[in-house]
Amino acid sequence: EKGGYPSFMLKEIAEQPRAVADTLLGRIGPEGTLTLDEIRIPARELREIDKVVIVACGTAFHSGLIAKYAIEHWTRLPCEVELASEFRYRDPILDARSLTVAISQSGETMDTLMALRHAREQGSRVLAICNTNGSTIPRESDAVLYTHAGPEIAVASTKAFLTQLVACYLVALYLAQARGNKDPEGIRSVIRDLAGVPGAIERVLAGMEPVRELARSLADQDTVLFLGRHVGYPVALEGALKLKELAYMHAEGFAAGELKHGPIALVDRGLPVVVVVPSPQGEPLLHGKIVSNIQEIRARGARTVVIAQEGDTEVVPYADHLISVPATPALLQPLVTTVPLQVFACALATARGNEVDQPRNLAKSVTVE
Ligand code: F6R
């Protein structure tokens, strides 16, 4: 049932090009048009929405954090992202013009379900992004966009995360088209670029041997830090979460701009720091800033693991280990930069003798508080 792989985790990581392609299937047309019939909210109502609120837990929350950048950039709608466990006990300001998006692989996470009910009680419309047909969260939502990752057996989420991201991008682009965007050709071009993502993930997966080797060499470390900016920041959080869950190591993700506000005090000789670098063309300003961050931590002895776009020569002198990913539009980059972090966590966990499919203390679906 593991299809020849030693674990479900490795199988599911390898299935990601397919999972992403399946989630796009039938939803994007050749001319950069989108067909999302599942979003049964009429276009007139979509135009009236004045705020998007995303609620989710864990890895699904990280996909929501990335979605915020895309939604605000493409739709100009304010977007908040909140942990469902916090949102449900707050007094959020929502009404019939709010769109609440609940993201959940299982569709049964108690906190996310309660957050969704909380939003509905304030009159908000609710859209679910979910991987499990007929589960509770979609049943209680006004509309659902299913991710087509297929069953995810390993406790730690991998392919479900990438497909949640794809679904978030689709929602953002759909809202942009329904509400009007000042650069319709730009929107169509991103939609076309999405179609190339499965191939890009395929290429990332084909080059993972050095990442596994690096992971094995770090098996005795106590701590790994992850840094990112813009959409790379939630990717850093996700990389750290995967490492905690699978390798039982101390791992933390930071926004690189926060380094000087505290975390840089942690940097000491030999500390592995993974840095997610934005595209030099897509985000030139941020690219320059992160290159300085890498220099700063390296000057303090960090062992830098740099994930950067192919052809990014500027980072080379400061990278003790360089992991290259194919070029994508800046906002889509998490679809390729997350993959090496999954492989890294999985290989490090295996090197430490851990069971990757069933990490200690964790359950696949958290149906209690
Ligand atoms: C991490 C992981 C969890 C889930 C979280 C939400 O690898 O799997 O953090 O993402 O428990 O679960 P769902 O998406 O089922 O609501």
34-76 pLDDT, tens per residue?
Answer: 988 888 888 889 999 999 999 999 999 999 999 999 999 999 9
Q: Note the pLDDT of residue 73.
A: 96
- Whether ligand 1 lies within 6 angstroms of the CB of 238 is answered as no
Length of the chain: 369
CA 180 to centroid of ligand 1, rounded, Å: 33
Q: Which residues have C-beta within 8 Å of that of residue 212, sequence separation ≥ 6? A: 343, 344, 347
- Whether ligand 1 lies within 6 angstroms of the CB of 122 is answered as no
Cα separation, 102 vs 115, whole angstroms: 8
CA 221 to centroid of ligand 1, rounded, Å: 26
* CA distances, 146 to each of 160, 167, 328 (Å): 11, 8, 24
Pairing of strands 272-276, 250-255: unpaired
Q: Note the pLDDT of residue 197.
A: 98
Mutation probe of ligand 1 site: the residue of 8, 54, 59 with most atoms within 8 A of C-beta: 59
CA 178 to centroid of ligand 1, rounded, Å: 30
Are 40 and 166 in contact by the 8 Å Cβ rule? The answer is no
- Whether ligand 1 lies within 6 angstroms of the CB of 14 is answered as no
135-168 pLDDT, tens per residue?
Answer: 999 999 999 999 999 999 999 999 999 999 999 9
187-216 per-residue burial string, b: 16 or more CB within 10 A, e: under 16: bbebbebbeebbebbbebbeebeebbebbe
Are 359 and 59 in contact by the 8 Å Cβ rule? The answer is no
Are 23 and 338 in contact by the 8 Å Cβ rule? The answer is no
Mutation probe of ligand 1 site: the residue of 109, 129, 162, 367 with most atoms within 8 A of C-beta: 109
Cα separation, 364 vs 339, whole angstroms: 20
Q: Note the pLDDT of residue 320.
A: 98
Cα separation, 229 vs 247, whole angstroms: 24
Cα separation, 274 vs 305, whole angstroms: 5
Phi, psi (degrees; rounded to nearest 5) at 171:
-65, -45
Secondary structure letter of residue 230 according to DSSP:
T
Cα 280 to the center of its chain, rounded Å: 20
Give the number of other Cβ atoms within 10 Å of residue 321's Cβ.
17
- Look up residue 94 and give its two tokens: 């929502």
Active site residues: 364
Q: Which residues have C-beta within 8 Å of that of residue 26, sequence separation ≥ 6? A: 35
Are 163 and 131 in contact by the 8 Å Cβ rule? The answer is yes
Cα separation, 232 vs 307, whole angstroms: 10
Mean pLDDT per 10-residue segment, the chain (369 residues): 93 98 93 86 91 98 98 97 96 96 97 98 97 97 96 95 98 93 92 96 98 98 97 98 97 96 94 97 94 97 98 97 97 98 98 92 84
CA 45 to centroid of ligand 1, rounded, Å: 31
Secondary structure letter of residue 327 according to DSSP:
-
Q: Note the pLDDT of residue 366.
A: 85
Q: Note the pLDDT of residue 310.
A: 97
Are 304 and 269 in contact by the 8 Å Cβ rule? The answer is no
CA 231 to centroid of ligand 1, rounded, Å: 19
Q: Note the pLDDT of residue 333.
A: 98
- Whether ligand 1 lies within 6 angstroms of the CB of 106 is answered as yes
Nearest alpha carbon, ligand 1 atom 7: 156
> Would the pTM count as exceeding 0.95?
yes
